[in-house]
Every structure is written in structure tokens, then in C-alpha cells.
Structure 1
């Protein structure tokens, strides 16, 4: 698979490299590995508990490195682009900051999430805590060797340094504590981590069950990446909130508040010294979202999927986000508040348009189906009457 992926990457570099200057080899590979080879929720739907996800990730990392080397040796001098990887991770905060066990559990949470892929790319090998814990548990489970694959010395050297930038996706935060009870299950990713994830009931609850608005965690994750991996250039590739289930669809004031909080914390991280080169909010349009299909809506633009033409309607967050990126930040509180009020005014108009959509669809059907059918019938009836008239005359 590594060689197949390298062939595919080379084809892309050759076809699009004269225009594309920023390449991401894999987006959110942790989810691909865990849900594809551990839980089976995503393709290829395998449940190889405690083994499959580590083997899949191992080859993803090697495939990324080979694609980077291919670009570096063959295409970089001519195309002058950059190649990186995009990793998604939530922030893990210790429940008790005075408890060494909770602090270690929170660190473990981050290393099993972000460090799993970033550490080999920036340091040449898996995080030490992953090697130690998975190795120890494998021995306890009667295995001769660790369930975590091993990079050879040559592979470590080949993989280390294969990223011109770090893509970082982030959505929310969890409180982390040490798991103080034994697991009755066999090998698994969750058991290898040995921790418990908690949420604060006071955190704003957004559309998806797993998503809470915790802006301060974003700044801490950016600081973690900055210090762990030598302050690499960072592109925030995903950050956003999904549709709140019981709210007016276009007046997404919760998304506006989410954007305001998270972007502000990113700006603080830049002042802290993080080398952040760009930010992409997730996402431009409502679109296909993993196994959820089209039910989870993250878009700035609402897409009416039930209409054959898939019309798009701007949500309130469109206008607000446009103001942020035009100003490259937040000028002053009074002006930012005016952005918010104007955005909500605009969305009420768009809501009226959306409410009229069924009527417009019926009118379109009348225009496209009924009218041509009636016209065709009229022509046929006229032809029959003409033919009967000619026969009577003859």
C-alpha cells in the first residue's frame, strides 16, 4: 500500500503541482485507523481490536514519508511547494492539576492522539509512553512481542523530518483522569490508554453529542504542538461547530460565538509565539460527514439536499466570518458586536427564502414538467382534430 500511495501522490504532483503549492498527504489519519480497523464504524469496517489500528497507522506514516521524499527529490526544485500531514486532536486537561496521575493521564491522552503520528514525523519514533504501555500490556496478555509495530533504524531516519508544516484540526476539549479500575475486555486502543474522558456540564453544548465549546483548550493544544515539535509552521485545517438540532437553521448564533472564542484563542497563541501560518474554518458547505452522511451540518452555507438543484443559503456565520478574515482579527468590541447584529438581521431574510423553497420547488416542477406536458397534449389534440377535419372534407 505504501508504494501504491506513492504512485498516486506522484501522479497528483505531476498533474497539479504547477498550481497546488500546499499538499496534505493524509487528513485525520487517527480516525481512519481507529474507526476503520478498531471499531469498524468506517471502511473497511474491521474490528481488529488492539492490533489493526496500529498496523494501519504504521503504514500510513510510512506512506506519508515516502510521498514527502518523492516530492522532495523529484518535484520540489521545480514546483517549490510544501508537503505536510493534517492531524486532528482534542485538548486533554487534567481533572486535578495537583494530581501527578491525572497529569500523566492527560499527557498520555495527547501522545496517543497527536503524538502517535506527529512524534515519528518530527522525532523519528512513536512516543515513549505508547511503546512502554502497549509493550507492557502485550506481555501481560501473553504475547511474545508488542502489538505496536516497530520502525527499523533505517525507517526512523527516513521518516524523521518529513513535514514542511503541521496541519492541525481541533474542535473541543476533554477533562482527563486516571482510570482506577481494571478493564474486563481484551486488547484495545482504549485499554492501552487507561484513562477516563469527562466533560464539564457547564460547557456550551453544540450540535453533535461529542462537541462542546471550550475555546481555551485550543490555545493550549497549539502551545503543546509548538513546544513538542520544535515550533513548526502550523496550518489550522479544521475548526468549527455543527448544526444545533433545535435551532433555526440559518441563524447559527452558536457558531458565531464558537468562532469568536476559538479564533481569539488562536490569536493569543500567535502572541505566545506559535508559528501559525493559516486558519481554515470547518466547513464552507454542508457536506458528507463520515458515517453520519448529510445529517451533521458544519457548513457556512446551508445546502438543501432534497432539491434536485441543491440550492445554497448563507447562514449568519458567513457574514460574521467574512468580517473576521477581512479585518484579520477583532478590531474592537463595539465593532465586533455590530458584526454579530448585522449577521443575524441578514439570516432572517435568508430564512424566509428557505421557507419559500417548497413553493419554489413546486413552481419549478410545474414549469419543467406540467407546462411541457400540457403543451405536448395540446399539439397532439390539434393534430388529431386537423386530421379528422381533413378526412371529413375529403
Structure 2
């Protein structure tokens, strides 16, 4: 019997290469289509109505030169004052859910629950109520990179007390919205928080404690997630029946060729960049993956450390972590090619512990972002990896997007969107338990240190206008068509006009249970 994976691989490769495939694959009526944003990137109003400084406020205020075009998140897309227009855009596209994040320093100005900011909560009250009015499911991310600076001054995620701080914050938000929100994401992309923010200075808070800081952070962030999950499970799950997950960066990595050394390098890279975060929750062991533990321990001893720089989990912590999610959020953008490194990395460092070099194929379509290239089959491989290693967990694609220059006729984004969704249908056909797909992003926003030089929005934002006017791009219409038809069919781009069409009855039929 011919292996189903081989058949599917050939079919997907054929689609990417332009071969004809006559089978019509359809997204189920219960499949949820959505879009996403995050608080720092769209809200603006950085010091309005009692909000205090976040680590991103401080980092970009203190280091304005790191922003590619000089535009930080002080005003951003000004969603704080434009939530009604934001929901109108969601209605125009016809999405089933909207993933957004709550700003911790906005609702808890001190970082602690001793001071609850009712003015800030009113903004989220208004947004959530507006979403529910039109039967759009709120998918709330509790933490999307914007830690209160007051907590960073106490060590941030390197302080083990951060586990308790996050649980206290989560309780305030759960108390407020558990009756209205059925989908929760505790923490977005631990790798970006920790590897880029504590082991490097790519992201705030730019601690740059290479080889040590990122591992301490990773342990604490994962335990913070687990504590918040157990809190919901214990105090809210039975009454409200919501679903709580975590969003992980799952970019694929393939060997640069079929040589054994390159295959081994790619496997180790995946262990550090994917399994490091998925394995503690979804494996039967509830621990860091063994290849990561072995690699860091070996390098640590070689570097003169008396023990591994990777902190260990106690037996109790492993039990806490195991199965501490109702779904796995997958943020997928691109694919990398891997081979063993020839260059020397800093000692110690996360990169040095993996000791590989990554690249991308020149023939792949390039986005505006230097790291972003389109290889749709990478999504299939990533989902296959998760299925094979973690017993087919329920999955939401919580981010997938494409960057361009400003402009409304974004045909490249349309092409990439359609190609990846075709592959997603193959993945589902082969057993991946994917419950929904979420485009990054609803609108142009502040892309961290890239500012607004890279545009990911289905809607273009005029950042020079006082009201930050939003205009639908071609991709908004293409996505609307896919949601309406639930297939990837031939589609002729219309004129760039889009209106509000209320699909509340259809959305009301979507399941809110996994």
C-alpha cells in the first residue's frame, strides 16, 4: 500500500508547482476563520486613562534609533479610540473570531491587582460587547510581549515570582470576562519573549543575558502559562466551558539537503525552536525535550559550568505542565533550511547551543520582511511533526501573514494566503485537528523594531492621518470570499470595494467547544 503521506506530499508539491488537482476540498462549516492584532501594536494611547509604561514603551522611548522608520507604538493604529471601526472591518470581512490582546499595564497600572484600572477595562468592555453583538468570538491573548515596566524593574520573566504575578493578572481578567470569552491564549510566543528579549536584544526588554537569561525566562513563562491554565480549569471551566491554550512560534526547518549531518542539524534546531515549548505541555513526559537537555548540558560542561545552564523542572512542575492546554496555538510564517554551523557563536548562547546555520531558498517568493519567504509545504510539515510527536492535539493557526510595502493592490499577499490555505486543507485531510485559521493582521500596525516599514494588514492604515484611516486591501476581499465559499477556488479580483454584510446567523452556528 502506498504511503498516504507520500501521496499527499506529491499532491501538495504539484499544487505549488501549478499541477492540476481536480478534487474540491472544503473547510467545514464549523471551521473558524479570524484575524489577529496585539495591544501594543494597534492600540496606541500609551499613557492615556491611567495606563503605565510597558517594556516596549520604555525600550523604544530609550532607543528610538532601533525602529526602522522611527514610528513606535505611542499612537500606532489608535485602536483605543477606533474600536467601532475595527469591528466594522471584521464585519466587512465576515470573520468568525477576532484575536486581540489585553494590555497588562493598561488594566493593572502597578502590575499587581491592588490597583484595577476601570477606565482601561471600559475599552475592553466596549470592544468585547461590540464583537458579541455581531456574533464574532473574542479570542483573548493575556500576554503579547507588553510586560509592565514596573515588573521588569523587579526582574521581569527572569524572576520566578513572575509566575505568581501572571496568575494574579489572569485572575482579574478571567473574573471580568470568563462569561463572555470562550477562547483564551495565555502567552504569545515564549521564544520571542525569552530568546530575543532575555538572551538577546532583538526584542524588549533587551536583557541580552546570552545562554542563561533565555532559559530562565522560558521555564518561568511556561510555568506561568500552566498556572493560569490550572486557575481557569479549577475556577471557571465547569461554569463557562471555555478553552485555554498557548501560542507557539512554529516555523518549519528542513535540512538544506539530504546529508545525514544536515538532517541531524535540522532535527536539533526543531527541538530548540518548536519542541522546547510544545513538549513540556503535550508530551507524556511534561519536560524539556531530551535533545535540548543533552545539548545544553554538554556545552555547559565544556564551558566550565558546574551544571547545565538549562534549569530543570521538578516532578511537581512537570505534572503541572502536562496537558495544561485545551488547544495549541500555532504561529507559522515561513521555513528555514538548516546545516551545521561553521562560524563561531558567542559563548555561552542559545545559538551556540544549537550550533547550526539557517538560510532560505532563493527561488521562494520573498516578503517585505527580510526573514519572510513563502514555502507553503512547510506548514504541512510542521503540522505533521506536531501530529506525529504529540498525538494530534487540537490546533488553531493563531497567526499567519505576509508583509508588503504600502498599497491596496496586494496580489502577492492574496497568492500566499490562498497557497497556504490549500496546504492547510491537505493537512486537515491527513488528520491534523486544525479548528481555525487566523490571519496576521487585521490592519497595518507597529511591527516592533520594524515600525511601520513592513505592512501585514488586510487593511491599510494611513498613519499620517489624524484618525488613522483604514482602507480594505485586495487581500481583505479575497479572504472574505474564502470565508463565504469555504473553498479555494478560481477568483477574479473585483474593484476594491467592500461593505458591511452581517453574517451573524452563520457565525452563531460555529462551535465554541473543541
How far apart are the structure 1 equivalents of 2:267 and 2:365? 25
Cα offset, 1:89, TM superposition = 2.1
How far apart are the structure 1 equivalents of 2:491 and 2:302? 58
Partner of 1:202: 363
Partner of 2:281: 121
Partner of 1:366: none
1:19 aligns with 2:169: no
1:149 to 311, 317, 324: 311
Aligned pair count reads 336
1:100 aligns with 2:260: yes
1:61 aligns with 2:233: no
Contact 2:414/2:475 (CA < 8 Å) preserved in 1?
yes
How far apart are the structure 1 equivalents of 2:202 and 2:254? 27
1:51 aligns with 2:202: no
2:427 to 269, 274, 290: 269
Q: Classify the secondary structure of the residue corresponding to 2:270.
A: helix
1:166 to 325, 328, 334: 328
Query: Which gives a bigger RCO, structure 1 or 2 (Cα 8 Å, sep 6+)?
Result: 2
1:238-272 deviation digits (Å, cap 9, x = unpaired): 001011x3xx6110000001001111111100001
How far apart are the structure 2 equivalents of 1:310 and 1:229? 43
1:310 to 468, 477, 482: 468
Partner of 1:337: 491
Cα offset, 1:196, TM superposition = 1.1
Cα offset, 1:176, TM superposition = 1.0
How far apart are the structure 2 equivalents of 1:82 and 1:314? 31
Higher Rg of the two aligned structures: 1
1:123-165 deviation digits (Å, cap 9, x = unpaired): 2000111000000000000000101010011111111110100
Partner of 2:57: none
Cα offset, 1:322, TM superposition = 0.5
How far apart are the structure 1 equivalents of 2:248 and 2:343? 30
Q: Classify the secondary structure of the residue corresponding to 2:358.
A: strand
Cα offset, 1:25, TM superposition = 0.4
Please, which runs of 5 or more residues in structure 2 have no aligned partner?
A: 1-161, 499-514
Q: Classify the secondary structure of the residue corresponding to 1:337.
A: coil
Partner of 2:390: 229
How far apart are the structure 2 equivalents of 1:288 and 1:311? 15
Distance of aligned partners of 1:30 and 1:318 in 2 relative to their CA distance in 1, 3 Å threshold: same
Partner of 1:32: 193
1:253 aligns with 2:414: no
1:291 aligns with 2:452: no
Partner of 1:82: 243
How far apart are the structure 2 equivalents of 1:77 and 1:163? 15
Deviating more after overlay: 288-297 vs 70-79: 288-297
Partner of 1:374: none
Contact 2:443/2:461 (CA < 8 Å) preserved in 1?
yes
Cα offset, 1:337, TM superposition = 3.4
How far apart are the structure 1 equivalents of 2:409 and 2:233? 46
CA-based RMSD? 1.5
Contact 2:345/2:351 (CA < 8 Å) preserved in 1?
no
How far apart are the structure 2 equivalents of 1:230 and 1:250? 42
Cα offset, 1:326, TM superposition = 1.1
Q: Classify the secondary structure of the residue corresponding to 1:115.
A: helix
Q: Classify the secondary structure of the residue corresponding to 1:237.
A: strand
Q: TM-score of the superposition, structure 1-length normalised?
A: 0.83
How far apart are the structure 2 equivalents of 1:128 and 1:207? 36
Q: Classify the secondary structure of the residue corresponding to 2:201.
A: coil
Cα offset, 1:182, TM superposition = 5.9
How far apart are the structure 2 equivalents of 1:71 and 1:307? 42
How far apart are the structure 2 equivalents of 1:325 and 1:255? 16
Deviating more after overlay: 195-204 vs 138-147: 195-204
Contact 2:345/2:352 (CA < 8 Å) preserved in 1?
no
How far apart are the structure 2 equivalents of 1:263 and 1:317? 13
Partner of 1:367: none
How far apart are the structure 1 equivalents of 2:226 and 2:374? 34
